[in-house]
Amino acid sequence: MRQIPGLILGIMAGVLLGLTATAQDLDGLLPLAKAGNADAQNNLGDMYSDGEGVPQNYGEAAKWYRLAAEQGHDKAQNNLGSLYYTGDGVSQHFGEAIKWYRLGAEQGYYIAQYNLGDMYYYGQGVSQDYSKAAKWYWLAAEQGDDWAQNALGDMYYYGQGVLQDYGEAVRWYRLAAEQEYSWAQYNLGWMYLHGEGLPQDNVEALNWIQLAVGQDNIGAQTTLGNMYYEGNGVPQDYGEAVKWYRLAAEQGDNEAQYELGNMYYNGIGVPQNYILAHAWANLASANGYPDAPELRDSIASYLTPSLVVEAQKLAGCFQLGQALEECN
């Protein structure tokens, strides 16, 4: 779950207290925190959470966040909720995370609102409720939070907790994309590519997808691979398709893993290689891509049992994030 970035907290506390979150300032910050200054307590908690100026210590972070949170400090409430969510410095407890997120959210703190929306969306610590998720996402999105704007766009795209409305999805994706949020850039590119909620436009699609690719967004990398494979909005280029599939596959995208396996299986854009084809299809299958088991089993029919074992070992190596050269 999201916490306010440490550097921003340091700057905010510096403005409020005339201090910055560094080791030199710890001696000045600690008396203020001990005296009950909630901003100082929250900033001290952040120093311990991020290991800035002090050794990282989540237990100490939780202690100081709690002191500030109990005084009604909205950011500390969110930060304490995030520690309960991850189980850092406290026993993991989604119910406690919900409690503290809600306190921060009800004070209008946008990151707490987003986090509370996520809890409702995924049904963590509460019963899954898309309507309540959409409510909290909307409150954060209205304050300009790009993550919440993108999440709300998803709700409108899929019709979860709100009426399905591609136009509204586009509106929220665009607001987040213009803030350079990579998933929103990818989603907006997708909408242009498929003409959903606005006129189909390959030029605009490519523009937004390339912006997301520039931030290493794996969904955008896979989609750009598809565009090169199909010659959709770009000149058909199987080599470029393989390049983008590989980048996304190595980062764990199951569709890219499947497509890369298929390229090796058919010798498209790369020399035909059944062992690599089987390895990537096997990994895509393990990661839940629905068509991957059939592809993997088809490829296996071209391999001897010993070569299947070799391909399986290679897939295990890929799963650990190692490159081909490291696996041989």
90-118 residue pLDDT tens: 999 999 999 999 999 999 999 999 999 99
Span 1-128: which CATH code?
1.25.40.10
Average pLDDT, integer, range 43-47: 95
For residue 2, what pLDDT is reported?
66
Average pLDDT, integer, range 228-256: 97
For residue 198, what pLDDT is reported?
97
Alpha-carbon radius of gyration of the chain: 24
For residue 220, what pLDDT is reported?
98
Residue 326 has pLDDT above 50, yes or no: yes
Average pLDDT, integer, range 28-51: 94
- Closest by CA position to 45, among listed 10, 16, 71, 15: 10
Residue 21 has pLDDT above 70, yes or no: no
Angle CA 81–82–86, to nearest 5: 120
Residue 4 has pLDDT above 60, yes or no: no
Distance CA 168, CA 197 (A): 8
- What is the percentage of the chain residues whose pLDDT exceeds 70? 93
Average pLDDT, integer, range 242-260: 97
Which tens digit of pLDDT belongs to each residue from 256-269?
Answer: 999 999 999 999 99
Which tens digit of pLDDT belongs to each residue from 48-94?
Answer: 999 998 999 999 999 999 999 999 999 999 999 999 999 999 999 99
Distance CA 195, CA 183 (A): 18
Task: Report residue 27's pLDDT band, with 50, 70 and 90 as the boundaries.
Answer: confident
Residue 10 has pLDDT above 90, yes or no: no
Q: b/e for 54-74, b at 16 or more Cβ within 10 A?
A: beeebebbbbbbbbbbeeebb
Average pLDDT, integer, range 2-20: 40
- What is the percentage of the chain residues whose pLDDT exceeds 90? 87
Mean model confidence pLDDT for the chain: 92
Task: Report residue 274's pLDDT band, with 50, 70 and 90 as the boundaries.
Answer: very high
For residue 6, what pLDDT is reported?
39
Q: Domain segments of the chain: what residues?
A: 1-128
Residue 311 has pLDDT above 50, yes or no: yes
